[in-house]
């Protein structure tokens, strides 16, 4: 082949390669911002969805637990984490509770259920549930339709009322469902009703703890409005209708007035000696102590 022809072919190949390289660079420069914006869009959408789910879960399934802050961390165009700092209000005393670190990406969002589910301390003589990070005891509710629990139905009111100079929270489970008006007539004024236990799955608890969620809400200063918000939160949280317990409750109660709705138990807070009035009351099936705090001179209890 002629030398000049070879040189011409080489030159043409170099030009073609240069065009390909330049075209590739231009395409990459165009696609990178598009990919970045698209990634951020889907990540932000998942982040917002996870934020909403965390707030909804707190509103319906976290007895006497409040969210102090909830922020996004380690965020990128591919996903990130949401850190939820939580505490309990024990009659005016704030007690630290476990921090949740939930994750999200373009397609999925995952609540930190590992920290939501309590740990179990089990020995030959003792059993109780505890918060994994703070190691505080978790108060247990007993469903009136579950007859047998593996460790029996506990009643710890006698023990808590003997404690001196402390505040505490106690989960009180009823022998049968009651209306809020009936409950108010039974509870002393020097105790705070901070959470209403409305429903939970009916499962076999005879062989060990099932680790089920309980659903309810804080009645605050306006129980009727709080109940309305609770129903709305349940509908949003289980919008797909996959949670059988939530759907059964909604089907039975969402069209009822709050005064007609039956309640399975309550979470109370107060000074420990004020719980003595509830000892040996027939309407109480079981009681379980949760977090406690020592009273100090510079913080006055709410009641």
pLDDT tens string 237-273? 999 999 999 999 999 998 999 999 999 999 999 999 9
Q: Residue 156, class by beta-carbon neighbours within 10 Å (0-12 exposed, 13-18 middle, 19+ buried)?
A: buried
Q: Residue 221 and residue 194: Cα distance in Å, rounded?
A: 10
Nearest to 49 by CA among 241, 236, 215, 228: 236
CA distances 60 to 63, 71, 196, 243, Å, are 8, 20, 10, 13
* In a domain? residue 163: yes
pLDDT computed for residue 203 by the predictor:
92
Segment 147-164 shows an average pLDDT of 92
* In a domain? residue 104: no
* In a domain? residue 200: yes
* In a domain? residue 2: no
* In a domain? residue 230: yes
**Structural domain count of the chain:** 1
pLDDT computed for residue 155 by the predictor:
94
Q: What is the dihedral of CA 285, 289, 290, 293, to 10 degrees?
A: 150
* pTM higher than the cut 0.75: yes
Summarised one tens digit per residue, pLDDT across range 34-52 is 665 665 576 678 889 999 9
* In a domain? residue 67: no
User: Which residue is it, tokens 């918000």?
Assistant: 229
Segment 100-122 shows an average pLDDT of 91
pLDDT computed for residue 273 by the predictor:
96
Q: Residue 230 and residue 190: Cα distance in Å, rounded?
A: 26
The domain of 230 spans 118-294
Q: Residue 79 and residue 146: Cα distance in Å, rounded?
A: 42
* In a domain? residue 59: no
* In a domain? residue 195: yes
Q: Could you tell me the pLDDT band of residue 63, with boundaries at 50, 70 and 90?
A: very high
């Amino acid at each position: 082949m002629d030398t000049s022809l070879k040189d011409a072919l080489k030159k043409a190949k170099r030009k073609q390669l240069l065009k390909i390289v330049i075209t590739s660079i231009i395409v990459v420069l165009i696609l990178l911002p598009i990919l970045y914006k698209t990634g951020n869009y889907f990540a932000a959408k998942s982040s917002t969805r996870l934020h909403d789910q965390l707030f909804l879960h707190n509103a319906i399934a976290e007895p006497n637990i409040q969210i102090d802050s909830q922020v996004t961390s380690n965020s990128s165009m591919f996903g990130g984490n949401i850190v939820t700092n939580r505490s309990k209000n024990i009659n005016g005393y704030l007690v630290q509770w476990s921090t949740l670190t939930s994750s999200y990406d373009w397609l999925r969002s995952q609540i930190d259920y590992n920290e939501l589910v309590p740990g179990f301390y089990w020995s030959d003589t003792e059993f109780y549930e505890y918060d994994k990070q703070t190691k505080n005891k978790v108060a247990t509710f007993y469903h009136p339709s579950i007859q047998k629990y593996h460790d029996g139905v506990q009643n710890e009111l006698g023990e808590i009322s003997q404690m001196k100079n402390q505040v505490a929270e106690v989960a009180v489970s009823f022998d049968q469902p009651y209306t809020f008006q009936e409950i108010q007539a039974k509870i002393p004024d020097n105790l705070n009703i901070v959470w209403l236990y409305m429903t939970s799955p009916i499962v076999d608890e005879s062989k060990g703890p099932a680790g089920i969620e309980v659903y309810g809400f804080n009645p605050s200063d306006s129980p009727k409005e709080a109940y309305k918000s609770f129903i709305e939160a349940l509908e949003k949280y289980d919008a797909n209708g996959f949670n059988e317990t939530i759907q059964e409750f909604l089907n039975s109660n969402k069209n009822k007035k709050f005064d007609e709705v039956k309640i399975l138990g309550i979470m109370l807070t107060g000074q420990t000696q004020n719980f003595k009035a509830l000892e040996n009351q027939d309407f109480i099936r079981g009681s379980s102590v949760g977090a406690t705090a020592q009273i100090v001179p510079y913080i006055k209890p709410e009641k």
